[in-house]
Amino acid sequence: MLKNKLNQPIGLIKTEQVKRFIDMLQLVEEDIYPILEKVGLPERVLNTAHPYIPEIPVRLLLAEIVDKCGMESYQRICWLACRDMFIPHILDKISDATNLQELLVEFIEV
């Protein structure tokens, strides 16, 4: 974890996950770049090689998505993102489970 000038930790989020949130935004907003600028994410965030992005702009991005599409649509988009992206990504990393209990324990660890 990085630290700011006051030696406080700075939360980081994987860039790969941020790109998924931006994909969600593109479902409800044609021109995403003014929103990226507003929340403090660089325009090149979609093409960066950096593995992590600060957490605060990502939180602001999620709030903008809620503002643009409403809470009900946001919840549906999040549910679809979990179903279609996050859960399959995690399940790909699980290999040793032979029953439901082992699967859930390994899922939580991943």
Can you give the pLDDT at residue 78?
Answer: 81
Phi, psi of 48 (to 5 degrees): -80, 150
pLDDT at residue 4 above 60? no
Can you give the pLDDT at residue 51?
Answer: 87
pLDDT in tens, 5-49: 566 777 888 888 888 778 877 877 888 889 889 998 887 887 877
DSSP code of residue 83: I
Q: How far is CA 35 from CA 22, 48, 68, in A?
A: 10, 18, 10
pLDDT in tens, 49-102: 788 888 899 899 888 888 888 888 888 878 887 888 778 888 888 877 788 898
Q: Where are the domains of the chain?
A: 2-109
Can you give the pLDDT at residue 5?
Answer: 59
Query: How would residue 1 be classed by pLDDT, with cut points 50, 70 and 90?
Result: low
- Coil, strand, or helix at residue 51? coil
